[in-house]
Amino acid sequence: MHTLTFPAYKSAFRTAIRTALSEAQRGSLDEAAFPAYTHKNPLINWLFWQRLRVVMKYIERMGPFDRVLDFGCGSGVMLPFLAARSRNVVGLDVDLLAFRTMSRRLEFPSNIEVHEASRMTLRSLPAGGFDLVTALDVLEHVDDLPSTLDDLLRLLKPGGRLVVSGPSENLFYKLGRRLAGPEYSGAYHERGIPEVRIALGERVPVETVARLYPPVTLFDIFAGTCQAA
């Protein structure tokens, strides 16, 4: 996303998220990272949003797309950006509370459809039906990583990309979570991002998008490219 438009995009979501947090039951939106998107510490807030900015700039180099999947879409923070670059965007998540909360406060583009994963599974989606799949800060949570990666890659057209981000879970990252506050100090990840990168690399070629932030990696962002059949 162009640097002149990203602040406006960020501001709109931050305002809506702050309102949602002020009205919601305490802790009910923590899993969707609502507190991180609005953290009072400017450094922590910048670090969290910078991940999205890096991913957006990477995706901008590709497309336009016919169809895109945002796996683990959460609050829908990536959906308007993707909708501006694709004919159709599908959002998928195990819990739509965060998205429904945001959709009452923001008007999402009409070319977006969002589904609950229990009603529309990855295996029910058409093979080779997507140009791009994003899985941002979600694969560290899934129970069966190998099957999930296989299912996501099956959805891509030849040359399509799976863009992934996630936390390192190293000592510095865990310390940062504790400093950020009680919403971030629990042990709720199944794995760190190095394991995800290795598993994806066993299936397709993997390209590094960014490692944030040198010299210590807190978040890793990379993409796997689906090979021609």
CATH number assigned to the domain comprising residue 60: 3.40.50.150
Give phi and psi for 132, each to the nearest 5. Answer: -150, 140
Task: Flag whether 196 is in a domain.
Answer: yes
Among the residue ranges 39-43, 136-140, 190-194, the one predicted with the least confidence is 39-43
Amino acid code (one letter) for 39: H
Rounded Cα distance between 102 and 30, Å, is 14
Question: Can you read off the two tokens belonging to residue 113?
Answer: 């459809």
Does residue 195 surpass a pLDDT of 90?
A: yes
pTM for this prediction: 0.88
In sequence order, what E strands does 10-150 have? 65-71, 86-93, 112-116, 130-136
pLDDT reported for residue 208: 97
pLDDT reported for residue 3: 45
Do the Cβ atoms of 67 and 146 come closer than 8 Å? Answer: no
**Which residues face 211 on adjacent strands?**
220
Helix (H, G, I), strand (E, B) or coil at 179: helix
pLDDT band at 182 (very low <50, low <70, confident <90, very high): low
State the sign of the Cα–Cα–Cα–Cα dihedral 35, 49, 69, 148. negative
Does residue 9 surpass a pLDDT of 50?
A: yes
Amino acid code (one letter) for 30: D
Cβ atoms within 10 A of the Cβ of 179, count? 11
Task: Flag whether 1 is in a domain.
Answer: no
Rounded Cα distance between 158 and 150, Å, is 14
Give phi and psi for 23, each to the nearest 5. Answer: -105, -15
Rounded Cα distance between 12 and 18, Å, is 10
List, for residues 46-92, the tens digit of each pLDDT value: 888 999 999 999 999 998 999 999 999 999 999 999 999 999 999 99
Task: Flag whether 80 is in a domain.
Answer: yes
CA distances from 111 to 77, 84, 97, 114, 156 (A): 15, 9, 20, 10, 19
Q: Which residue has the higher pLDDT, 45 or 138?
A: 138
Task: Flag whether 143 is in a domain.
Answer: yes
Task: Flag whether 194 is in a domain.
Answer: yes
pLDDT reported for residue 228: 72
**215 burial type by CB count under 10 A (0-12 exposed, 13-18 middle, 19+ buried):** exposed
Residue 203: DSSP 8-state = T
Q: Which domain holds residue 135?
A: 6-225
Mean pLDDT value of segment 92-115: 94
pLDDT reported for residue 180: 44
Q: How many domains does the chain have?
A: 1
